[in-house]
């Protein structure tokens, strides 16, 4: 093709309508009604990935042949269902991708590290298995930073992942590849995981919906990082997120701890408005951080919109939330949690993770247990923000205290201070990590559109086991102030 030959127009994803790119639920309906085939849907996304992803680097692996085979099998099942009445799973034939930190049966897992190799996994992780049983077609793996440690998606193994809103900036992390892919219309939804904000932060930076569900609601291999970490999805609508969480929450439990399953399906909760709620506006970081005035203004604008919907909004504080107290205890837990990945070459681990792994080895069992107990005791005080005499139903915050960082900014100065990248990542996570510490449901939504600016979300944190309340409120905001039509400005999409 010569320079004067016009480039073929990039096709919209199959199922695109007046409201924008299709949701996972819409695609599942089209496939089940045989208005489109799973193979047509998949091929449309693969075409967009081949055209757009070289600029983004959202995927570290795209399984063209295996995905086409799976889509063909889905279409055969659709035909059988039409003839026999066999029920189809709720997301039958819908493409998605799994974050490259979580095992997928028959596929290599490298955790974005040159130190790990590429061992082929014998089985799916529990949440991945639940997504497969829900009918999703896996088309590959999305990028993350090494071991998912930081708030940007940059690694020595996979390079730099860029935001479709601004190619000079990060989409966030650690689920940054997933966020970039959904924001650019390369997937309808994508799997992610969140240990300090790693679903909500990239959702915020990429104009998406991202939810960390309640501790233990989604099955996992273990109670990872004392329950700080969990899995979920990044999407463009609250309803997609709610419906997928229903499938994840229904999966068999695999850990010691049982949690109450939602009495009403989360999808149903997202379809109806909540009762008038008492909402507390909090701009109180858990780590030492300066909250950008633009983020504060965004949260106050969200507070006004909530008031317009009939909710009571008050300025609020979380008792016992002390950054100077919390940071060293988080460091103990986080270093130990990021050190459990087996490696074949310790010298190939990136500098920050080498520092964390070394710190974990210096932490004896008594120091670790004492840290966990101290965090639990202090958490009892913090829960009073919701449960106390002046408690609220939902806490409202900016999702991030800062705008998305530029490429490489996180790593500057790490030769002089190997902890510096973690300190910068903690600053980014200083408003999201509270949900992980307390195990509370928390969602980031792209409520307020910044004229000519980068996306920045607002966060809703519910009380214990109040996933339905959070989703109902987020969906009410989405109906009143839709965001699905917005598209990134950084690429011709």
pLDDT tens sequence across 310-336: 999 999 999 999 999 999 999 999 998
C-alpha torsion angle, residues 422, 426, 429, 432 (rounded to 10): 120
The reply to whether 432 falls in a domain is yes
pLDDT of residue 223: 65
Whether 9 maps to a domain, the answer reads no
Residue 6: C-alpha distances to residues 1, 2, 9, 255, 490 (Å): 9, 9, 9, 56, 20
Is residue 493 in a domain? no
Q: Is residue 441 part of a domain?
A: yes
pLDDT bin (cut points 50, 70, 90) of residue 23 is: very high
Q: Mean pLDDT, to the nearest integer, of 191-219?
A: 97
Do residues 232 and 467 touch, judged by C-beta distance below 8 A?
Answer: no
Contact 235, 211 (CB under 8 A): no
Residue whose entry in the numeric block shows the structure tokens 């850990």: 255
Tell whether the model's pLDDT for residue 3 goes beyond 80. Answer: no
Q: Does 15 map to a domain?
A: no
Query: What pLDDT is recorded for position 256?
Result: 79
pLDDT score of 225: 84
Using CB atoms within 10 Å of the CB of residue 324, give its burial: 0 to 12 exposed, 13 to 18 middle, 19+ buried.
exposed
The two three-digit tokens of residue 456, written as one number: 């920045």
Q: What is the mean pLDDT of the chain?
A: 95
Q: What is the pLDDT of residue 4?
A: 45
Query: Which of 479, 491, 455 lies closest to 238 in space, CA to CA?
Result: 479
Domain total for the chain? 1
Please check the confidence at residue 154 and state whether its pLDDT lies above 90: yes
Q: Is 31 within a domain?
A: yes
Q: Which of 316, 293, 291 is nearest to 460 (CA)?
A: 316
Q: What is the mean pLDDT of residues 449-464?
A: 90
What is the pLDDT, as a whole number, of residue 365?
Answer: 95
Cβ neighbours of 172 (radius 10 Å): 32
Whether the CB-CB separation of 432 and 228 falls below 8 Å is answered with: no
What confidence tier does 8 reach under pLDDT thresholds 50, 70, 90? low
Average of per-residue pLDDT across 229-250: 97
Single out the catalytic residue among 174, 175, 193, 472.
174
Predicted TM-score (pTM) of the model is: 0.97
> How many Å is the Cα radius of gyration of the chain?
21
Confidence grade of residue 5 (pLDDT, cut at 50, 70, 90): very low
Spatial separation of the C-alpha atoms in residues 84 and 191, rounded to whole Å: 32
Structural domain containing residue 451: 24-480
Residue 165 · residue 455 · CB < 8 Å = yes
Burial 422-439 (b: 16+ CB within 10 A, else e): bebbbbbbbbbbbbbbbb
Q: Give the N- to C-terminal CA distance of the chain in Å, as an integer.
A: 21
99 is catalytic: yes
**What does the pLDDT average to over 452-479?**
96
338 is catalytic: no
Return all residues near 273 (Cβ < 8 A) that are at least 6 apart: 472, 476
> Quick one: pLDDT at residue 1?
41
pLDDT tens profile 27-64: 999 999 999 999 999 999 999 999 999 999 999 999 99
User: Which among 272, 283, 218 has a CA at the least distance from the CA of 473?
Assistant: 272
Q: Confirm whether 187 is domain-assigned.
A: yes
Catalytically annotated residue among 113, 144, 198, 235: 198
What is residue 344's predicted lDDT score, i.e. its pLDDT?
92
The CATH number linked to 160 is 3.90.1300.10
Kindly state the average pLDDT of the residues 90-102: 97
Q: What is the pLDDT of residue 221?
A: 74
pLDDT digits (tens, 9 = 90+) for 382-398: 999 999 999 999 999 99
Q: Is position 386 within any domain?
A: yes
């Amino acid at each position: 093709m010569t320079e004067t030959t016009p480039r073929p127009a990039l096709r919209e994803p199959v199922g695109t309508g007046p409201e924008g790119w299709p949701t996972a639920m819409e695609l599942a309906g089209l496939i089940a009604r045989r208005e489109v085939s799973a193979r047509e849907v998949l091929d449309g996304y693969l075409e967009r990935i081949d055209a757009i992803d070289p600029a983004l680097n959202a995927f570290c692996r795209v399984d063209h042949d295996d995905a086409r085979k799976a889509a063909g099998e889905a279409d055969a099942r659709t035909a059988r269902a039409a003839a026999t009445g066999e029920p189809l799973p709720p997301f039958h034939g819908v493409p998605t991708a799994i974050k490259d930190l979580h095992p997928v049966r028959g596929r290599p897992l490298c955790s974005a590290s040159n130190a790990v190799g590429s061992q082929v996994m014998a089985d799916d992780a529990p949440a991945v298995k639940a997504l497969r049983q829900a009918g999703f077609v896996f088309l590959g793996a999305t990028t993350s930073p090494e071991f998912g440690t930081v708030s940007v998606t940059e690694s020595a193994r996979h390079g730099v992942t860029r935001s479709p809103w601004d190619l000079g900036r990060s989409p966030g992390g650690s689920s940054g590849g997933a966020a970039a892919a959904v924001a650019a219309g390369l997937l309808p939804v994508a799997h992610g995981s969140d240990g300090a904000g790693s679903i909500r932060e990239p959702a915020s930076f990429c104009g998406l919906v991202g939810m960390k569900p309640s501790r233990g609601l989604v099955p996992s291999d273990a109670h990872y990082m004392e329950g700080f970490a969990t899995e979920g999805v990044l999407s463009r609508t609250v309803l997609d997120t709610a419906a997928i969480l229903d499938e994840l929450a229904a999966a068999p439990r695999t850990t010691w701890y049982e949690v109450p399953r939602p009495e009403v399906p989360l999808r149903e909760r997202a379809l109806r408005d909540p009762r008038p709620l008492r909402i507390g506006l909090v701009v109180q970081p858990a780590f030492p951080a300066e909250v950008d005035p633009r983020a504060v203004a965004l949260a106050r604008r969200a507070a006004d919109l909530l008031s317009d919907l009939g909710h009571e909004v008050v300025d609020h504080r979380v008792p016992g939330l002390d950054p100077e107290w919390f940071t060293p205890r988080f460091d103990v837990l986080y270093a130990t949690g990021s050190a459990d990945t087996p490696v074949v070459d310790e010298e190939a681990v990136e500098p920050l993770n080498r520092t964390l792994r070394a710190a974990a080895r210096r932490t004896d069992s008594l120091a670790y247990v004492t840290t966990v107990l101290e965090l639990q005791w202090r958490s009892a005080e913090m829960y009073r923000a919701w449960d106390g005499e002046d408690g609220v139903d939902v806490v409202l915050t900016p999702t991030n205290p800062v705008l998305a960082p530029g490429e490489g900014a996180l790593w500057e100065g790490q030769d002089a201070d190997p902890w510096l990248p973690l300190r910068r990542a903690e600053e980014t996570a200083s408003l999201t990590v509270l949900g992980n510490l307390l195990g509370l449901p928390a969602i980031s939504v792209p409520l307020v559109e910044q004229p000519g600016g980068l996306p920045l979300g607002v966060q809703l944190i519910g009380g214990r086991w109040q996933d339905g309340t959070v989703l109902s409120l987020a969906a009410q905001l989405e109906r009143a102030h839709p965001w699905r039509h917005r598209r990134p400005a950084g690429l011709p999409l």
